[in-house]
Amino acid sequence: MIRLIDVTKTYVLNGRRKVVAQNLNATFPSGVSVALLGRNGAGKSSLLRMIGGIQTPSSGEIVSTGSISFPVGFAGSFHPDMTGLQNTRFVGRIYGVDTDELCDFVEDFAELGDHFRLPVRTYSSGMKSRLAFGVSMGIAFDTYLIDEVTSVGDSTFKARCTALLNARTRTAGAVVVTHSMKQVRDLCQAGAVLENGKLTYYEDLEAAIAHHERNMAA
């Protein structure tokens, strides 16, 4: 369960304030995959990072039960001078999982070859995302935070990502940010629409999609 209580997030850019979340109140139930919908710049990724604890709200609070992943594909926490292998092992220790099993999984899934044993600073952005995807998918979380992750890599790798996401969300919840309505329908059972700093939660996924499409057409 993830509960947003009067969550507000404001950025100040060049002396101007931008509110991406204003007094949000919603509950995302345990074991449910929720599509977080909204136009570009609406604040979806910011909300995802707040749920994951990477950013803090300007006011309000987010409470949760169970374990929540860092945003799948987010590589910002990797140490650039450590190898992919060392970073994977470090994350595994933080979350208390078998580090050898996690490293084997990530090395096989991310398909980084020799780069897995080279410093992360030598990686392209796509390679970092593949590493981060493998690390987060290799750990059994109660809720996964997913932000356009299957845009990384070629068509074969995207298909593997989608298949693994489908497998994980059969036994766990998720908050999913994607512009693909096919992926939304494949992964999610409920939806939430973020527009002009306001969030509307729908138990009916199709109602959420319809609301989002009305916003996009307006």
DSSP output for 111-125: --GGGGGSBGGGS-H
Q: Quote the mean pLDDT of the chain.
A: 91
Using CB atoms within 10 Å of the CB of residue 122, give its burial: 0 to 12 exposed, 13 to 18 middle, 19+ buried: exposed
Would the pLDDT of 166 be above 90?
no
In this prediction, residue 150 carries a pLDDT of 56
Using CB atoms within 10 Å of the CB of residue 8, give its burial: 0 to 12 exposed, 13 to 18 middle, 19+ buried: middle
Would the pLDDT of 130 be above 90?
no
Percent pLDDT > 70 in the chain is 95
Would the pLDDT of 37 be above 60?
yes
Kindly provide the b/e burial profile for residues 186-207, where b requires at least 16 CB atoms within 10 angstroms of the residue's own CB.
ebbbbbbbbbebebbbbeebee
Tell me the domains of the chain and their CATH numbers. 1-66+180-218 (3.40.50.300)
Would the pLDDT of 4 be above 60?
yes
Sheet holding 143-147, edge to edge: 143-147, 173-177, 33-37, 190-195, 198-202
Would the pLDDT of 76 be above 80?
no
What is the C-alpha separation between 17 and 19, in angstroms, rounded? 7
Mean pLDDT, residues 76-95: 93
Percent pLDDT > 90 in the chain is 69
Would the pLDDT of 7 be above 70?
yes
